[in-house]
């Protein structure tokens, strides 16, 4: 599926077999769990516990967009995304086709549409070259607008940790956090 950053490989997060297949197709283990894409703010409480102040500020500033937040997952979820330690990586993409799909399907478990260790696909054709018929449906919306993976920030408390620098720079995150006054 398209996102604003790179193409994603998506599955129903509440279907263990689908998530296991996503990880298998991707070629990586359960120690690298899938993240969740949401289509709107109403879907956030379905997957995540109430956000710490700094996480909410970052979400307000960068969503929809290229920032993924690792936060505590909502209680009582019947899913298995991999070894998450009770957290979930969540993002609201800016791509309108992705947001429309998510508004219809609900939150989706997603990983970049590429084989583990290979460059992330920025077009449906690139994803198809890597993943072939291991994927059932390809949703093509042209090249990804950003073309770089999202930045991942752990925000389980009001202290943050940048886990991966991507489309949003560490300097931008540091400036936003420095200006944050709870």
Amino acid 135: pLDDT: 93
Give residue 145's pLDDT.
Answer: 95
Mean pLDDT, the chain, integer:
93
Give pLDDT, residue 66. 98
Residue 47 pLDDT more than 80?
yes
The four Cα atoms 103, 109, 112, 113 give a dihedral, to 10 degrees, of -80
Interval 122-149: pLDDT, tens? 999 999 999 999 999 999 999 999 999 9
- Which CATH code of 3.40.50.2000, 3.40.630.30, 3.30.160.60, 3.90.870.10 fits the domain covering 8-178? 3.90.870.10
Are the beta carbons of 36 and 92 closer than 8 angstroms?
no
Note the pLDDT of residue 152: 97
Q: According to the model, what pLDDT value does residue 17 have?
A: 92
pLDDT digit string (tens) for 62-117?
999 999 999 999 998 878 887 888 999 999 999 999 999 999 999 999 999 999 88
Amino acid 39: pLDDT:
97
Percentages helix, strand, coil for the chain (3-state, rounded to 5) are 30, 20, 50
Question: Which tokens belong to 106?
Answer: 């609900």
Q: Place 12 in a pLDDT band, splitting at 50, 70 and 90.
A: very high
């Amino acid at each position: 599926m398209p996102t604003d950053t790179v193409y994603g490989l998506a599955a129903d997060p509440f279907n263990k077999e689908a998530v296991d297949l996503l990880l298998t197709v991707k070629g990586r283990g359960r120690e690298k769990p899938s993240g969740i894409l949401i289509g709107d703010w109403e879907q956030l409480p379905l997957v995540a516990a109430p956000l710490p102040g700094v996480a909410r500020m970052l979400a307000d500033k960068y969503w929809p967009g290229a920032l993924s937040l690792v936060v505590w997952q909502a209680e009582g979820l019947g899913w298995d995304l991999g070894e998450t330690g009770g957290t979930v990586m969540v993002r609201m993409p800016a791509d309108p086709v992705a947001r429309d799909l998510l508004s219809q399907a609900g939150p989706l478990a997603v990983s970049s549409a590429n084989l583990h260790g290979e460059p992330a696909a920025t077009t449906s054709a690139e994803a198809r070259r890597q993943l072939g018929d291991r994927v059932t449906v390809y949703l093509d919306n042209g090249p990804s607008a950003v073309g770089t993976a999202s930045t991942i920030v752990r925000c389980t408390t009001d202290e943050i940790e940048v886990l991966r620098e991507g489309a949003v720079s560490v300097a931008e995150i540091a400036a936003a956090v420095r200006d944050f006054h709870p």
